[in-house]
């Protein structure tokens, strides 16, 4: 039942499969926030892969900070939070807003955990990971940014040879091996992972999770 819609979505080139998509807009620069974004990878993997990054704003005049992995994970000041090395579609998956002290604490966590990620993951593998999406997902979990990357963010579920964790959305658990795994959660629904590819069902908002962009057939919440 899942395979047929997934094939139909692929035939449509990954467009029009998700509805009510979140607008690509960040809060005003005078408000502190942390945002999670991703962009379509260049050809020939445009329809099946996305690259994630995080943008943060302290609202203290220091500018936007960008957290990303390109070879190594790093943090830098950015003027254009939506620009990246690819030329495909950019999507916003979640924005964390709150009191300045709360957001500052999250940003300090990102600054602390980014170099630690490089120590823990000195290698890079496009599939199934560790890669740029492995880094972003680890930052989401360790810094309590409750947000999920899309199904096509290959590497987000990498946990090593065998690993288990709370989901980055904060309402589920997942068990992963290098070959495959499973994720179950209240907001995450049920996902099966095979070599980094995801397929499953979200109960609310209702959607099928498919391994082609935008990663969902139904209502978009990621």
Which phi and psi (to 5°) does residue 102 adopt?
-65, -50
Q: How do beta strands 72-78 and 180-185 pair?
A: unpaired
Q: In a 10 Å sphere around its CB, with 0-12 CB exposed, 13-18 middle and 19+ buried, how is residue 20 labelled? A: exposed
133 SS3 class: helix
* 199-206 long-range Cβ contacts below 8 angstroms, 24+ apart: 199/2, 199/6, 199/151, 200/2, 200/151, 201/2
Cis amide leading into 205 (omega within 30): yes
Q: What is the pLDDT of residues 159-178, one digit of tens each?
A: 999 999 999 999 999 999 98
Q: What is the pLDDT of residue 221?
A: 64
Q: What is the pLDDT of residues 13-68, one digit of tens each?
A: 344 454 456 789 999 999 999 999 999 998 888 889 999 999 999 999 999 999 99
Rounded to two decimals, what is the model's pTM? 0.89
């Amino acid at each position: 039942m899942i395979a047929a819609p997934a094939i139909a979505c692929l035939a449509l080139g990954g467009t029009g499969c998700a509805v009510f998509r979140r607008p690509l807009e960040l809060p005003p620069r005078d408000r502190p926030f942390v945002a999670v974004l991703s962009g379509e990878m260049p050809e020939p993997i445009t329809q099946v892969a996305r690259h994630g990054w995080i943008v943060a704003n302290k609202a203290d005049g220091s500018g936007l900070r960008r957290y990303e992995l390109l070879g190594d994970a790093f943090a830098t000041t950015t003027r254009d939070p939506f620009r990246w090395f690819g030329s495909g579609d950019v999507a916003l998956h979640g924005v964390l807003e709150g009191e300045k002290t709360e957001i500052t604490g999250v940003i300090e966590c990102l600054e602390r955990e980014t170099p630690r990620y490089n120590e823990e993951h000195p290698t890079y593998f496009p599939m199934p990971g560790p890669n740029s999406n492995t880094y972003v997902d680890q930052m989401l979990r360790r810094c309590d940014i409750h947000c999920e990357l899309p199904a096509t963010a290959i590497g987000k579920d990498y946990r090593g040879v065998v690993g288990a964790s709370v989901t980055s959305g904060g309402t589920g658990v997942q068990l992963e091996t290098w070959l495959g795994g499973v994720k179950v959660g209240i907001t995450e629904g049920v996902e099966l992972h095979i070599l980094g590819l995801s397929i499953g069902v979200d109960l609310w908002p209702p959607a099928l999770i498919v391994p082609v962009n935008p990663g969902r057939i139904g209502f978009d919440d990621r």
